[in-house]
Chains A and B, each alone.
Chain A
Amino acid sequence: MSTVAHAEEAHHHGPEPGLLRWVFTTNHKDIGTLYLFFSLLMFFVGGTMALIVRAELFVPGLQLVDPYFFNQMTTLHGLVMIFGAIMPGFVGLANWQVPLMLGAPDMALPRLNNWSFWILPFAFTLLLSGLFMPGGGLAGGWTMYAPLFLQTGQAFPFAIFAVHLLGMSSILGAINIISTILNMRPPSMTLMRMPLFVWTWFITAFLLLLAMPVLAGAVTMALTDQFFGTFFFSSAGGGSPIMFQHIFWFFGHPEVYIMILPAFGIASQIIPTFARKPLFGYASMVYATASIAFLSCIVYAHHMFTVGMPLAGELYFTYATMLISVPTGVKVFNWVATMWKGSMTFETPMLWAISFVILFTIGGFTGLMMAISSIDFHYHETYFIVAHFHYVLVTGAAFGIIGAVYYWIPKWTGNMYDEHLGKIHFWLSNIFVNLLYFPQHFTGLAGMPRRIPDYAVQFTEWNMGSTIGAFGFGFSQLLFLYIIITTVRGGEKAKARSWEGAYGMEWEVPSPAPYHTFATPPDVDKVRLTIS
């Protein structure tokens, strides 16, 4: 197995006893678990902030919180959900699944892997400590636009350093994932044999490397503008506030795809399993993912149609953005074609995956509407955009993560979850999430501005619906928490191949997956990688 004494020892050892195991661990499964639980915690923290926002918006007028606190809640809800819930959720899945799906012994750089995770709690301590400082937490929106951002109170430099740490964590994680995929595959696991989840994460990791350092640069300029008298974002010295938006969205748009590409990969794993057919158009899926990633880097200014841009810019960004729907359409077509004439069953992961395809596509369509610059002027900065990005991020990214948890939790814990409860969780979430976000399309088109704690009375009924949906969706997730805890603690034993149609390296190891897997590279040629 190994000629190296230390490695030999490590392979035979189980986890260390005690809580310090989780602090010092270099095991990809431990670190994946840490990431996933952290993501769940942040999901509830960010969700609570969202419920405060929705409670205030239940009826017009100012009832519960003062507007400044409302602004802090909208801002921190965005940052916590993006950097705390969605991204760590995906990284946690990558940690668990990428080595297992490749047949690799661990991540390529295990100590660095630990560091990527353990930066996060410190970063969020910095970010959220602002709430308890004079002037409160960040309140200028998650996009941190200068000059409003510079008017933050004591929390300002803490938030900037928090963003630096979050960027560091993401970059180290992305480097690790790239190194793992390029260098830890068994010889017979060629690139075009890799499961789609691994492919989508591979491409996502490059987007992280491309985008996160630019965000670090942008907030550093904001920091020096505030404390060292520079003039990057101030017209008084020849700079421009619009410059911040350009630099921010150069990061921000790839970031959007960082948060959805791994979910594409998850859907591409789940749907073939429960349709009992191989994924339709594997190669086109890979190329479509790469095309989306490339296009995501050259369309960023569609976030800025109304801030002032030359006409040529408006036109270019309109057309380039609409181009993204071509590879995305390829993907949606392939998922549907995979299900076509399949022997489908509808276990909970499949329900989430199908719901993902439908609801993400709705989010995609509204995105297409806003890509058209001339029309975007009408619904820029209204609830229409709120509805759009929550359809792609909640029913897209978050649904992808939840579906992945149901799909792989038998492998992680060795136990099956309660199928009945899983289905109840699914239906409650789906009914409430649509009650929550669908009306926002209407209020947005009718002109209700986002990020404002009060609104005109004619929007009342739709907002009441939204708020009821929000509380219903939020409290349904307590059922998810209950299902996770009960599955970790016990339940029907899972087989190595936990689903009848599940094929791939991860289903070749027992459930739960042993602490160390694939100490010697497996011969992938001898394994059935897809159902057929």
Chain B
Amino acid sequence: MAEAHGGYYLPQPSHWPITGSIALFTLFFSTASWFQGAAWGPWGMLLGFALLLVLLFGWFGTVIGESEGHLYDAQVDLTFRWAMAWFIFTEVMFFGGFFGALFYARIFSVPWLGGDDVATNVLLWSGQALDWPSKMAPGLTDLDFEYMPAWPLATFNTIFLLSSSVTVTIAHHALKEGDREKVKKFMLITVGLGVLFLLVQVYEFHHAWTSENLTLASGVYGSTFFMLTGFHGFHVTIGTIGLITITARIYKGHFTPERHFGFEGIAWYWHFVDVVWLGLFIFVYILA
């Protein structure tokens, strides 16, 4: 267990938390108002988002400053490790909820509606047959979409993301060996692969929406497809911003071969989005 040796860094009173609460409240209140038709909604959202950016720059900036000011000892470092690890666990559970919805739809609701449960099928859907990915849904007579195949886009994205996990690990080893030029090189490659992934996904979404008539409203297949890959893409975006941040910190001379939790935390997060993608690739694309 950790050694406690006095001097655990206890921060002074801080205005960042309340700033964060105000930012989130502004963002959520405006978004909700916008959903309900308020014309000022987008402006409020913009303000909330700007406040959130101020918060992220400010709070993380403060922490980075404290870290580079050598205020943190090994015990604080371990706190960050536990906290980050369990934060990633909650992210896994969040995706678990959406995977749960996917499995429920595939194993239970679609087969039941599609004929396994005869009464439901006849009463609700006039006996129409249904299978996965359900291109027909009785409530949606004009439903004619193409489902998204694993080849070629998703397969390329799998290669990009898996490779980026390797390159970030190479960068990490180089950091531990003190070879900072190699760190820079491989971090740039990692960021590049992350951006490439996102560009391909943007193209894929655009293509699906405009050419394949596959939208969020394309039955439960479209719902699970876009929500799962969309939330994953959102997390890749966050991860890429994190990667850019630590790359910039490398250029500024931050981190030592022994102490670089900021780097490791983002690397863990990047591996997490990688693993979630593997789940998506298998269950959303290949087994579609």
Q: Is the CB–CB distance between B219 and A232 below 8 Å?
A: no
Q: Is the CB–CB distance between A122 and B140 below 8 Å?
A: no
Q: Which of B20, B96, B220 contacts A239 (CB 8 A)?
A: B220
Q: Is the CB–CB distance between B29 and A126 below 8 Å?
A: yes
A352–chain B nearest beta-carbon distance, Å: 33
Q: Is the CB–CB distance between A229 and B217 below 8 Å?
A: yes
Q: A109-B79, A119-B24, A157-B31 in contact; A24/B14 too (CB < 8 A)?
A: yes
Q: Is the CB–CB distance between B28 and A165 below 8 Å?
A: yes
For the complex, give the distance between the alpha carbons of A125 and B83 in Å. 28
Q: Is the CB–CB distance between A210 and B93 below 8 Å?
A: yes
For residue A157, which residues in chain B have a CB less than 8 angstroms away from its CB? 31-32, 35-36
| Total contacts A-B at CB 8 Å | 255
Question: Is B252 located at the chain interface by the 8 A CB criterion?
Answer: no
A147–chain B nearest beta-carbon distance, Å: 13
Q: Which of B7, B91, B138 contacts A2 (CB 8 A)?
A: B7
Q: A24-B15, A122-B25, A183-B75 in contact; A239/B6 too (CB < 8 A)?
A: no
Q: Is the CB–CB distance between B101 and A221 below 8 Å?
A: yes
Considering residues A174, A211, A214, which has the most beta carbons from chain B within 10 angstroms of its beta carbon? A214
Q: Which of B71, B221, B227 contacts A224 (CB 8 A)?
A: B227
Q: Is the CB–CB distance between A243 and B105 below 8 Å?
A: yes
For the complex, give the distance between the alpha carbons of A143 and B228 in Å. 24
Q: Which range holds the interface residue count of chain A?
A: 35 or more
Q: Is the CB–CB distance between A236 and B36 below 8 Å?
A: no
Q: Is the CB–CB distance between A229 and B11 below 8 Å?
A: no
For residue B149, which residues in chain A have a CB less than 8 angstroms away from its CB? none
Query: Which residues from 213 to 252 on chain A have a C-beta closer than 8 Å to any C-beta of chain B?
Result: 213-214, 216-218, 220-221, 224, 227-232, 234-240, 242-243, 246-247, 250
Residue of B nearest to A237 (CB): B219
Residue of A nearest to B71 (CB): A4
Q: Which range holds the interface residue count of chain B?
A: 35 or more
Q: Is the CB–CB distance between B8 and A6 below 8 Å?
A: no
Q: Is the CB–CB distance between B109 and A217 below 8 Å?
A: no
Considering residues A111, A121, A228, which has the most beta carbons from chain B within 10 angstroms of its beta carbon? A111
Query: Which residues from 1 to 38 on chain B have a C-beta closer than 8 Å to any C-beta of chain A?
Result: 1-18, 20-22, 24-25, 28-29, 31-32, 35-36
Q: A105-118 toward B: CB 8 Å interface, digit per residue (1/0)? A: 11011111011001
For residue B25, which residues in chain A have a CB less than 8 angstroms away from its CB? 122, 125-126, 165
For residue B43, which residues in chain A have a CB less than 8 angstroms away from its CB? none
For residue B6, which residues in chain A have a CB less than 8 angstroms away from its CB? 1-3, 519-521
Q: Which of A227, A228, A231 contacts B220 (CB 8 A)?
A: A231
For residue B86, which residues in chain A have a CB less than 8 angstroms away from its CB? 174-175, 178-179, 209
Question: Is B46 located at the chain interface by the 8 A CB criterion?
Answer: no
For residue A138, which residues in chain B have a CB less than 8 angstroms away from its CB? none
Q: Is the CB–CB distance between A240 and B104 below 8 Å?
A: yes
Query: Which residues from 151 to 172 on chain A have a C-beta closer than 8 Å to any C-beta of chain B?
Result: 154, 156-158, 160-162, 164-165, 168, 171
Considering residues B83, B91, B120, which has the most beta carbons from chain A within 10 angstroms of its beta carbon? B83
For residue A224, which residues in chain B have a CB less than 8 angstroms away from its CB? 216, 223, 227
Question: Is B151 located at the chain interface by the 8 A CB criterion?
Answer: no
For the complex, give the distance between the alpha carbons of A157 and B90 in Å. 23
Q: Is the CB–CB distance between B8 and A105 below 8 Å?
A: yes
Residue of A nearest to B110 (CB): A238
Q: Which of B4, B90, B137, B227 contacts A237 (CB 8 A)?
A: B137
For residue A521, which residues in chain B have a CB less than 8 angstroms away from its CB? 4-6
For the complex, give the distance between the alpha carbons of A519 and B89 in Å. 31
Q: A519-B6, A520-B6 in contact; A183/B78 too (CB < 8 A)?
A: yes
Question: Is B215 located at the chain interface by the 8 A CB criterion?
Answer: yes
B14–chain A nearest beta-carbon distance, Å: 5
Q: B194-218 toward A: CB 8 Å interface, digit per residue (1/0)? A: 0000000000000000000001110
Q: A1-B7, A114-B17, A213-B90 in contact; A239/B97 too (CB < 8 A)?
A: no
For residue B36, which residues in chain A have a CB less than 8 angstroms away from its CB? 154, 156-157
Q: B33-65 toward A: CB 8 Å interface, digit per residue (1/0)? A: 001100000000000000000000001000000
Q: Which of A110, A235, A246 contacts B139 (CB 8 A)?
A: A235
Residue of B nearest to A21 (CB): B13
Q: Is the CB–CB distance between B8 and A184 below 8 Å?
A: yes
Q: Is the CB–CB distance between A6 and B94 below 8 Å?
A: no
Q: Is the CB–CB distance between A7 and B18 below 8 Å?
A: no
Q: Which of B5, B78, B101, B112 contacts A232 (CB 8 A)?
A: B101
For the complex, give the distance between the alpha carbons of A238 and B113 in Å. 7
Q: Which of B82, B100, B109 contacts A178 (CB 8 A)?
A: B82
For the complex, give the distance between the alpha carbons of A182 and B13 in Å. 24
For the complex, give the distance between the alpha carbons of A474 and B145 in Å. 58
For residue A125, which residues in chain B have a CB less than 8 angstroms away from its CB? 25
Question: Is A390 located at the chain interface by the 8 A CB criterion?
Answer: no
Residue of A nearest to B17 (CB): A115
Considering residues A25, A106, A187, A232, which has the most beta carbons from chain B within 10 angstroms of its beta carbon? A232
B132–chain A nearest beta-carbon distance, Å: 8
For residue B11, which residues in chain A have a CB less than 8 angstroms away from its CB? 6, 10, 26, 110-111
For the complex, give the distance between the alpha carbons of A210 and B90 in Å. 6
For the complex, give the distance between the alpha carbons of A239 and B137 in Å. 10
Q: Which of B20, B96, B101, B222 contacts A115 (CB 8 A)?
A: B20
Q: Is the CB–CB distance between B13 and A26 below 8 Å?
A: yes
For residue B219, which residues in chain A have a CB less than 8 angstroms away from its CB? 231, 237-238
Residue of B nearest to A239 (CB): B220
For residue A183, which residues in chain B have a CB less than 8 angstroms away from its CB? 2, 75, 78-79, 82
Question: Is A16 located at the chain interface by the 8 A CB criterion?
Answer: yes
Q: Is the CB–CB distance between B82 and A165 below 8 Å?
A: no
For residue B130, which residues in chain A have a CB less than 8 angstroms away from its CB? 238
For residue B75, which residues in chain A have a CB less than 8 angstroms away from its CB? 183-184
For the complex, give the distance between the alpha carbons of A1 and B10 in Å. 13
Question: Is A186 located at the chain interface by the 8 A CB criterion?
Answer: yes
For residue B104, which residues in chain A have a CB less than 8 angstroms away from its CB? 240, 243, 246-247
Q: Is the CB–CB distance between B216 and A236 below 8 Å?
A: no
For residue A156, which residues in chain B have a CB less than 8 angstroms away from its CB? 36
For residue A162, which residues in chain B have a CB less than 8 angstroms away from its CB? 28
Q: A154-B36, A216-B97, A246-B100 in contact; A25/B9 too (CB < 8 A)?
A: no
Q: Is the CB–CB distance between B18 and A23 below 8 Å?
A: yes
Q: Is the CB–CB distance between A179 and B13 below 8 Å?
A: no
For the complex, give the distance between the alpha carbons of A221 and B99 in Å. 12
Residue of B nearest to A20 (CB): B13
Q: Is the CB–CB distance between B94 and A214 below 8 Å?
A: yes
Q: Is the CB–CB distance between A236 and B139 below 8 Å?
A: yes
Question: Is B281 located at the chain interface by the 8 A CB criterion?
Answer: no
A296–chain B nearest beta-carbon distance, Å: 15
Question: Is A270 located at the chain interface by the 8 A CB criterion?
Answer: no
Query: Which residues from 489 to 507 on chain A have a C-beta closer than 8 Å to any C-beta of chain B?
Result: none
B203–chain A nearest beta-carbon distance, Å: 21
Query: Which residues from 480 to 532 on chain A have a C-beta closer than 8 Å to any C-beta of chain B?
Result: 519-521
Q: Is the CB–CB distance between A7 and B223 below 8 Å?
A: no
Question: Is B108 located at the chain interface by the 8 A CB criterion?
Answer: yes
Query: Which residues from 8 to 54 on chain A have a C-beta closer than 8 Å to any C-beta of chain B?
Result: 9-11, 16, 21, 23-26
Question: Can you give 8 contacting A-B residue pairs, CB < 8 Å?
Answer: A16-B13, A26-B10, A108-B83, A109-B79, A171-B90, A217-B98, A217-B100, A230-B222
Give 6 A-B pairs besides A217-B96, A232-B223, A235-B113 with Cβ atoms closer than 8 angstroms: A7-B8, A118-B20, A183-B75, A229-B215, A242-B109, A521-B5
Nearest 8 A/B pairs, CB to CB:
A236-B139, A217-B97, A229-B217, A115-B17, A230-B223, A157-B32, A24-B13, A161-B28
